[in-house]
Amino acid sequence: NAGVTQTPKFQVLKTGQSMTLQCAQDMNHNSMYWYRQDPGMGLRLIYYSASEGTTDKGEVPNGYNVSRLNKREFSLRLESAAPSQTSVYFCASSGRTGGEQFFGPGTRLTVL
Amino acid sequence: SQELEQSPQSLIVQEGKNLTINCTSSKTLYGLYWYKQKYGEGLIFLMMLQKGGEEKSHEKITAKLDEKKQQSSLHITASQPSHAGIYLCGAEAGSNYKLTFGKGTLLTVNP
């Protein structure tokens, strides 16, 4: 089992460009999450999907959109990237019966 | 909203020394999770505590939950360079298993 996979691992964008971060899990988990991690700010929840077909805003959703494509995949889209979105992005998933979350390796995004 | 404060923010110890990291919540803790992160990598789950007074151990790492104090502690015995990294605590913030995280404690272990 690969667990949680994320693509790409690194990305550099110019201000105003758009891109989609991909996340997939092979653990048959219902819930999936997108976080960003910034120095001094810790991990902050951007969006989450409690189950297939549902998505909800987290703590810092502005500037992002998400799609729960199916049970396995949960993507994060930046429509018009801004320098403030420079961060490390983590995807995570968890099973219905427990709160333990499994994290992907992260995507390092730089917006110039 | 729930806030988690970790202390210390950073810690440098000599190999072989014991150390403790604390995580204090602004609200009642219903589930407390400890993760470890190495630089440039994702988070690795260490332990989950759910009941007041609960204590769990894995190798040389022990975590305890003090429900009354709304606090959890992570204790490492006889630290090794492999213990170095960022330790984060996370707490359940309501339904849907959303977690709120502390800002992390950076641990350096000098050989």
Number of inter-chain CB pairs under 8 A, A vs B:
59
Which two three-digit tokens encode residue B58?
A: 């894995």
pLDDT above 90 coverage of chain B, percent: 67
Q: Which of B110, B103, B50, B52 is nearest to B84 (CA)?
A: B110
Q: How close A53 gets to chain B, by Cα (Å)?
A: 14
Strand partners, A49: A32
Which of A31, A100, A105 comes nearest B45 by C-beta? A100
Interchain contact A41–B (C-beta under 8 A): yes
Q: How confident is the model at residue A50 (pLDDT cuts 50, 70, 90)?
A: confident
* Residue A89 near chain B (CB below 8 Å): no
Q: Tens of pLDDT along B34-50?
A: 999 998 788 999 999 98
Mean pLDDT of A42-65: 92
pLDDT of the residue at B53? 83
Give me the pLDDT at residue B39, please: 81
Interface test with B, best of A7, A49, A100 (most B CBs within 10 A): A100
**Is the preceding peptide bond at B8 cis, omega within 30 degrees of 0?**
yes
Per-residue pLDDT band for A98 (boundaries 50, 70, 90) equals: low
Task: Name which of B1, B33, B103 is nearest A99 (Cβ-Cβ).
Answer: B33
Query: Phi/psi class of residue A61: alpha, beta or left (left: φ > 0; alpha: ψ in -120 to 50)?
Result: alpha
Chain B, residues 51-110, CB within 8 A of chain A, namely: 88, 90, 92, 95-104
Task: Give the model's pLDDT for residue A42.
Answer: 85
Identity of the residue in B41, B98, B101 whose CB atom sits nearest the CB atom of A48? B98
- Taking the C-alpha atoms of residue A13 and residue A2, their distance in angstroms, rounded to an integer, is 28
Predicted confidence (pLDDT) at residue A35 exceeds the cutoff of 70: yes
Instruction: Tell whether A43 lies on the interface with B, counting CB pairs under 8 A.
Output: yes
- Considering only residues B68 and B110, tell me which one the structure prediction assigns the higher pLDDT: B110
Residues in chain A within 8 Å Cβ distance of B90: 43, 101
The region, left, alpha or beta by phi > 0 then psi within -120 to 50, assigned to residue B100 is beta
Q: Residue B51: which pLDDT band, with cuts at 50, 70 and 90?
A: confident
Average pLDDT across chain B, whole number: 90
